[in-house]
């Protein structure tokens, strides 16, 4: 016979799985509604870390000049992000440059509220091909929970694709953000080191040098 502890554990596990199933079902329903109400992207969202992404976003904008372009990156890169986009024709009043994020999860969590305020339901998601799987997984949780969907716009690179474990880790962090309002980014012991390195590399780089993938943590 099962012990009392085993029965309690199985009961707790069953309740947890039921809650998780309900949670993900709600996200799927909200995403389906968003696709129905906004079948085409309404804005462009760029994850910082490589100016090739910014250039690609500018090219997308040239085909859809009615869209605003949102960029999430470290503050030290925002001026150059704006320069790249304005050189491609994007008016300053259509630029939304944000420097709150510390990593990929916070690229999404720091801006999802503003997307909601702007009543955006569908975004072009611009990032590198090796980074897209993790970015889409985070987007499904963070943006999907608010009824926002993405169309991936991947920039080709020569880098090896990220591991599934990285995506799983950030999905867990995204769920924690939904439940507790915290992403766990502040627990990263290398965060300040990477941000300092990013600033140093920016000062040393030439105007056309591609930035390192510092935001793909």
Q: What's the DSSP call for residue 181?
A: S
Calculate ∠ Cα 114-116-120, nearest 5°.
Answer: 105
User: Tokens 């889409």 belong to which residue?
Assistant: 136
Q: Buried (b) or exposed (e) across 176-210, using 16+ Cβ within 10 A?
A: ebeeeeebbbeeeeeeeebbeebeeebeeeeeeee
Question: Hey, where are the domains in the chain?
Answer: 4-204
Over 90: is that where the pLDDT of 11 sits? no
Of 24-28, 95-99, 153-157, minimum mean pLDDT range = 24-28
pLDDT > 50? residue 96: yes
Can you give the pTM of this predicted structure? 0.81
**Residue 64 confidence (pLDDT) above 80:** yes
Strand partners, 128: 155
4-204 architecture in CATH?
A: 3-Layer(aba) Sandwich (3.40)
- Provide the CA 59 distance to its chain's centre, in angstroms: 20
Inter-CA distances, 56 with 26, 62, 63, 155, 187, Å: 33, 10, 11, 7, 32
153 forms beta bridges with 126
Band (pLDDT 50/70/90 cuts) for residue 133 is very high
pLDDT at 53: 97
Q: State pLDDT tens for residues 140-194.
A: 999 999 999 999 999 999 999 999 999 999 999 999 998 887 766 654 545 555 5
Q: Are strands 95-98 and 149-155 parallel, antiparallel or unpaired?
A: unpaired
pLDDT value of position 159: 92
Beta-carbon contacts of 55 under 8 Å, excluding residues fewer than 6 positions away, are: 84, 88
- pLDDT of residue 106 exceeding 90, the answer is yes
Residue 187 is encoded by which pair of tokens?
Answer: 């627990």
Report residue 158: phi and psi, to 5°.
-105, 10
Backbone angles phi, psi at 205, to 5 degrees: -80, 155
- Render pLDDT for 36-56 as a digit per residue (tens, 0 to 9): 999 999 999 999 999 999 999
């Amino acid at each position: 016979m099962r012990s009392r502890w085993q029965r309690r554990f199985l009961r707790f596990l069953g309740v947890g799985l039921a809650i998780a199933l309900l949670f993900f079902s709600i996200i799927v329903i909200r995403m389906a509604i968003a696709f129905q109400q906004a079948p085409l992207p309404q804005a462009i969202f760029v994850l910082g870390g490589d100016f090739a992404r910014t250039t690609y976003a500018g090219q997308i904008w040239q085909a859809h000049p009615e869209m605003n372009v949102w960029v999430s990156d470290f503050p030290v890169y925002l001026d150059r992000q704006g320069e790249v986009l304005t050189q491609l024709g994007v008016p300053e009043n259509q630029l939304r440059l944000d420097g709150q994020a510390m990593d990929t999860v916070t690229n999404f969590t720091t801006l999802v509220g503003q997307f909601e305020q702007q009543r955006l339901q569908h975004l072009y998601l611009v990032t590198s091909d090796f980074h897209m799987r993790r970015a889409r997984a985070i987007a499904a949780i963070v943006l999907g929970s608010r009824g926002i969907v993405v169309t991936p716009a991947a920039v080709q690179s020569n880098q090896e694709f990220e591991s599934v474990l990285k995506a799983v880790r950030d999905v867990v962090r995204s769920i924690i953000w939904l439940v507790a309002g915290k992403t766990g980014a502040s627990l990263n012991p290398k965060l300040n080191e990477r941000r300092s390195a990013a600033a140093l590399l920016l000062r040393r780089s030439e105007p056309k040098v591609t930035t390192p993938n510092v935001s793909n943590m």
